[in-house]
Structure 1
Amino acid sequence: MSESRPRFLQPASILDYRELARRRLPRQLFDYIDGGAYDECSLRANVEDLQGVRLRQRVLRDVSEINLATSLAGQAMALPVVLGPVGLAGMFARRGEVQAARAARDAGIVFCESTVSICPMHEVHAAVGPAFWFQLYVLRDRGYAAELLQRAQALGCEVLVFTVDLAVMGARYRDTRNGMSGNDDARTRLARAWDLLSHPRWLADVGVHGKPLVFGNLRGAVPDAQGLAGFRSWVDAQFDPSVRWQDLDWLRANWSGKIVLKGVLDVDDARTAADMGFDGLVVSNHGGRQLDGVPSTIAVLPEIAAAIGERMQILFDGGIRSGLDVVKAIALGADGCMLGRAWAYALAAGGEAAVAHMLDILRKEMLVAMALTGCTRLADLRGSAVIHAP
C-alpha cells in the first residue's frame, strides 16, 4: 500500500507564498502587488543583484547563541525588519492591514500603515495599540496632511515614514492593462468584473465581508478615492510634483516624533537628508515601481552607507525574498530592512497566520545564514560577511 500524500504542504519559502497569492487573488490585485514600472527591469534587478551578493562562509566558531534583536528608529525589534507600507492591503485579505499588524506585533516587530491603506489607522490602533508607524506621501493639501499627522500622533505613533519618490506615478503597465490606472472603458470594466467574480473565495472573504473597501485614512476628505481605479485619480489630484527639500520644514512643525525618508537612491540625496537632520532613510526604488532603469537598491546601498551610515540609520528595501537577503543587506550597510511584497504575498495567501509564518521563515533563514558566516550579532556582519557585491 502506497503512503498517502499530504493534502497541504506548508509553504517553505516566501516565493511559495507568491505562488499561493497568484492563485487566490484576482489578477488585477496580484499584478498590483507583483508588478513594476515599464519593462520591470529595476524590479528584476532588485532580486537578481541580491542573489549575486556572495557571502563569506566561516567555520569552527561558536555560533550556539545568535541574537537578531536591534533597535530601529528608537524602537526595540526582535528582528531587523519592519512590515513596510503597502497600499490597498485590505484588498488582499479581509481587513488586511489589521491582520498584518497583529502578526508584526506578535513577532516583536512593527507594521507601517500606508496613507492609502484600506483599514484606517484607528482600526489598526484598536488591534495593536500604538505599536505602528505611519507613512505619508507628499500631498498638495498641506492642511489635510497635517490633519493625518495629528491623527497618528494622537494614537501614540512615534515614527513617520515620509515617502519622497512619488512626485508623479510611475508607468505601471500591468495596472494599465488591468484598468487600475484610469483606463475605464466598457471592455476593461467587464474584464475587471469577471476577474473578481471568477475568484469566489476572495469575493466572499474580502469583497463581501471585508467592507468598507475604501481608503480608510482618506474617507470623507477625498470622496472619489475609493475602489481600484479611484487610486489613480486620487494620486493625480493630490501628489505634489513641485515639492523641494526646503519645503520639508513643515514636517518638523507638524510632527514631534522621528522622521524616516523613504525613496532615497542617490548618495547626494542621502547626504542632504543627513544634513537636514532627519532620523533615518530608506534606500529604495519603490520596489521597481517608479522609474525603471535605475540601479537596484543593493547596488547603491554600500556607497550610501559609507557616506552617511554614521550620521543616521539606514533601512533597505527592494528585492527581499528571504532572510538571507536581509543578512546580505545588513552586511552591506543597512541597519534593518523594510518588507513589502514579502508580507503582501503572505497576507493574500493566508492572512495573519501566513504573515506570522512568513516572518518565522525569515527568522530561521537569518539564523542559518549568520551561523554559517560565523556571526552571532548583527553588528558582526558588517565588513566581514560579504565576499562580492554587485
Structure 2
Amino acid sequence: PAILRDVSKADTSREVLGAPTALPFGIAPTGFTRMMQTEGERAGARAAGRAGIPFSLSTMGTTAIEDVRDANPHGRNWFQLYMWKDRDKSMALVDRAAKAGFDTLLVTVDVPVAGARLRDKRNGFSIPPQLGVKTIVNAIPRPWWWFDFLTTEPLAFASLDRWSGTVGELLDHMFDPTVTYEDLAWIRDQWPGKVVVKGVQSLADAKRLASMGVDGITLSNHGGRQLDRAPVPFHLLPEVVREVGADTEVHLDTGIMSGADIVAAVALGARFTMVGRAYLYGLMAGGEAGVDRMIQILSEQIER
C-alpha cells in the first residue's frame, strides 16, 4: 500500500474494450440461469445496466437475446459463444446478437468436451430438471419456492426443448470438439464488434491469440468445473500480462470471492474481471434485488 495519498474519492472506473465501465468487473455468462431463479438473465441484465457494468449472455442461457437487449437497452451486453456441431445454428445466434446491438463476442474455448460433472449426476441436475426426493425434502419448508416453481413461466431453452439427459451429455451432444485456431479466425471475421477468447489456460495459447489480433483474452478454468486439475488463472496472470499485455487486454474469470480479489487481479495487470457464482448466489437469494446487493457489496469492498 502507498501512504499519504488523497483517497477521499476512489475512482473505480476502467476503460474496457474501448468503452468505459463503472467498475472493474462484469457479470459472467451463466447457463441455465432461470433454474436458479425465475427472473434469470433479465434480472442480471437490468442490474448490470443500473451499475454501469457489462452483462454477458450465455449460449446456454434461458432468456432470448432480444429479451436481454430489452432488459438492458442502454447498457453493454456481451454474447458468449459455444461453437456447436451445427455451425449454421451457432452463427445464427451470433447474427442475432449483432443485430441486437451486443458489442462483444466471448468465444469460449475450454469446453471441447464436457467435464465429468459427477455432482450433477448425483444431484439429478438434468434437462429437464428432475425433482428427486432430496430436492422435494429441501423444498417442503420453503412454500414460496413451490409457489414460484408452479406459477411462473415454465423453464425453456431455445435449442433444448426435446433434450432428456444430464448437462454433460447435452454438451457432448451439441458442442463441436474439432474447433481450431482457423475456426476462431473465421468466427472473428463474422463479428462486427470486439472479440474476446475465454478459457485461456496457458502462456503459449495467450501469445498465439495475441498474434492473431484478438481484442482480449480471458484467463479462466471455467470455475474449476471442467477440469479439476486445471491451472489457477490468478497464478497465470502476471506472466501472461508481461508477455501479451501490451498487445491485447487480459481479463480474469474464476475464483473471485470478494472485491479484494478483483483489486488484486487489477494490481497484477488484469484489465477486467468477471463474476459468476457471486451473481448466481445474489440472484437465488433475492432475485433482481439480490443481484443489486451483490454488486453493491463488491463495489464497497473494491472502494475500501
TM-score bracket for the superposition, by shorter chain length: over 0.9
Tell me by how many angstroms 1:189 deviates.
Answer: 6.0
1:1-390 to 2 correspondences below 5 Å: 57-129=1-73, 131=75, 132-180=77-125, 190-191=132-133, 194=136, 197-198=139-140, 199-205=142-148, 207-215=149-157, 218-219=158-159, 222-225=160-163, 229=165, 231-368=167-304
> The residue matched to 1:315 in structure 2 has which SS?
strand
* SS of aligned partner of 2:15: strand
Assess if the C-alpha contact under 8 Å between 1:160 and 1:257 holds in 2: yes
Structure-2 separation of matches of 1:190 and 1:96: 22
> Secondary structure of the equivalent of 1:102?
helix
Is the Cα–Cα contact under 8 Å of residues 219 and 233 in structure 2 kept in the other structure?
Answer: yes
Aligned partners of 2:163 and 2:23: how far apart in 1?
Answer: 35
Matches of 2:277 and 2:56 in 1, distance apart?
14
C-alpha spacing 1:190/1:96, structure 2 compared with 1 (3 Å): closer
The code of the aligned residue for 2:152 comes to: G
Which aligned segments of 4 or more residues in structure 1 are displaced greater than 4 angstroms? none
Equivalent-residue separation in structure 1 for 2:37 and 2:242 (angstroms): 40
Distance 1:202 1:142, change over 3 A: same
Q: Between the two proteins, what is the percent identity of the paired residues?
A: 40
CA distance in 2, matches of 1:95, 1:212: 12
Deviation, structure 1 residue 193: 6.0
Change (3 A) 1:193 1:332: closer
Letter in 1 for 2:92: E
TM-score by length of 2: 0.93
Verify the 8 A CA contact 1:112 1:135 in the aligned structure 2: yes
TM-score (norm 1): 0.73
Report the aligned-residue RMSD.
2.1
Contact conserved, 1:278 with 1:312, CA < 8 A, in 2?
yes
CA contact (8 A) 2:114 2:169 kept: no
Q: Is the 8 A contact 2:115 2:168 kept in 1?
A: no
> Which consecutive unaligned segments of at least 5 residues does structure 2 have?
none
Residues 1:96 and 1:189: Cα distance change in structure 2 (over 3 Å): closer
Secondary structure of 1:167 counterpart: coil
8 A contact 1:122–1:155 mirrored in 2: yes
Q: CA deviation at 1:332?
A: 0.8
**Structure 1 residues 258 and 61 mapped into 2: Cα distance closer, same or farther (>3 Å)?**
same
Deviation (angstroms), 1:249: 2.5
Which AA in structure 1 matches 2:276? G
**Equivalent residue of 1:362, what SS?**
helix
Determine the C-alpha separation between the residues in 2 that align with 1:158 and 1:150.
12
Aligned to 1:12: none
Alpha-carbon distance in structure 1 between the residues aligned to 2:37 and 2:268: 34
Distance 2:195 2:292 in 1: 27
SS in 1 for 2:279: helix
Decide whether the 8 Å contact of 1:196 with 1:203 is kept in 2.
no
Whether the 8 Å CA contact 1:133–1:159 is kept in 2: the answer is yes
Distance in 2 (CA, whole Å) between partners of 1:311 and 1:169 is 32
Q: Which segment drifts farther, 248-257 or 159-168?
A: 248-257
Which structure: larger Rg?
Answer: 1
CA contact (8 A) 2:259 2:302 kept: yes
What corresponds to 1:21 in structure 2?
none
Higher relative contact order (CA 8 A, sep 6+): 1
Shift of 1:125: 1.3
String of CA shifts for 1:239-258, please: whole Å, max 9, x gaps: 11111111223212321111
Shift of 1:196: 7.2
